[in-house]
Structure 1
């Protein structure tokens, strides 16, 4: 259960004594959707702009009419939201980059499915995609997926099946997620909730 709503997916079995507890993680939420930040608002956000721990805004807009803010807790979800306000946009993309902590990234293997669940509530339509980036030594593996609707209230789900990537037997040293909005229109983008879960691929 993350933030009052359950991340969809499969039950994760534990392996038989083959790693530390950190290797068995199943669910995780970035800081900005977990607790209130000390600096909950940023105006004139340039690229890159860090917002809390492990969350960075990137864009290619030459204007400085972009603001980031963390809203108050929603009575139903009891978690903060992250809001991007765009007054004018003259670029082609805007993205939120979410760093996966090392103790969550390094246990990932080709036997895992990584799920990104989020809820968008904004006053304009925005085209969004999600990209998973896995660092394996000098190499970078990327997987880009489009979110699919998961019930009502703007809930979306993205699944990254690492068994269908080029990971193979290589070890992951770092991982991060890009939430990409293509050519956003002026208005607000509200990411009301965001969580990540790890699931084991079914054995055949």
Structure 2
């Protein structure tokens, strides 16, 4: 049915184009009353065409929903963009966010505030430089807690074949209302133990990239169960933080 409708639409569009072409070609000799009617019809059609072009140009210029396209090391054996930054969530945002609240299936906010004055919201990226379809905005007003972190669960593929010779790269785009320190802590559960590697995000650099070198951990490669990342915000009160993108990739360290 959809194919038949598409064929019919194409026939109607081609017919309208042929009609316009004939009218334009005959315009020098068309009787003035008829030409006046044709001009009014053409002007009305032009308004609709301009509106369609305006909406289409804006939508087609946006990053594609669901895209996993982003720069990654040429020798990466795994790469991933979480759902918050790649596709629309059923619930776009949360206000007065309680600790352990989830936004989507992969992100959880943790804090120890007595009274939450925090909001989380997924927003559509519209900048030409954005590769991710969506971003995440966090607004923090009064903050009476001692910690605030966003935990992101990595998929099972991140743990498959993970070795101590791996480097895991985190790349993000951060916008801040005022400067704060942000840390990233990679957690790897392996058996009864959890290995942790912490890096401060270089927010003063144009490319905010950190790498977690697993060679300096005591990772038991045979017992890797899951990975998650904690994004830790220091002194976040009265601030707005936008994570325009957040991606992971994994590559083996070059043999010495």
For 2:98, the equivalent position in structure 1 comes to 46
Contact 1:60 / 1:93 at 8 angstroms: preserved in 2?
Answer: yes
Q: How does 1:63-74 map to 2 (within 5 A)?
A: 63-74=115-126
Give the number of the structure with larger relative contact order, counting CA–CA contacts within 8 Å between residues 6 or more apart: 1
What TM-score does the superposition give when structure 1 sets the normalisation length? 0.85
1:79 lines up with 2:136 in the alignment: no
The answer to which structure has the higher strand fraction is 1
Cα 1:96–1:202 change in 2 (3 A) is same
Q: Matched residues in 2 for 1:45 and 1:201: separation?
A: 40
Which runs of 5 or more structure 1 residues have no equivalent in the other structure? Answer: 14-23
Give the structure-2-normalised TM-score: 0.69
Partner of 2:71: 6
- Which of 93, 111, 130 aligns to 2:184? It is 130
Q: CA deviation at 1:82?
A: 0.3
- Please list the CA deviations of residues 121-162 of structure 1 after superposition, one character each: whole Å capped at 9, or x if unmatched: 12111210010100011111111111235852xx31111011
DSSP 3-state at the match of 1:117: strand
- Provide the alpha-carbon RMSD of the alignment: 1.9
The 5 A counterparts of 1:1-204 are 5-7=70-72, 10-12=73-75, 24=77, 26-76=78-128, 77=130, 78-148=132-202, 152=206, 155-204=207-256
Task: Name the SS of the counterpart of 1:121 in structure 2.
Answer: strand
**How many Å apart are 1:182 and its aligned residue?**
1.5
Question: CA shift at 1:172, angstroms?
Answer: 1.1
In proportion to residue count, which structure has more helix? Answer: 2
Query: C-alpha offsets along residues 13-51 of structure 1, whole Å, 9 cap, x if unaligned?
Result: 7xxxxxxxxxx4x21011001111111011110101100
Distance 1:107 1:31 in 2: 23
Structure exhibiting the larger radius of gyration computed from Cα positions: 2
Give how far 1:12 is off.
Answer: 1.4
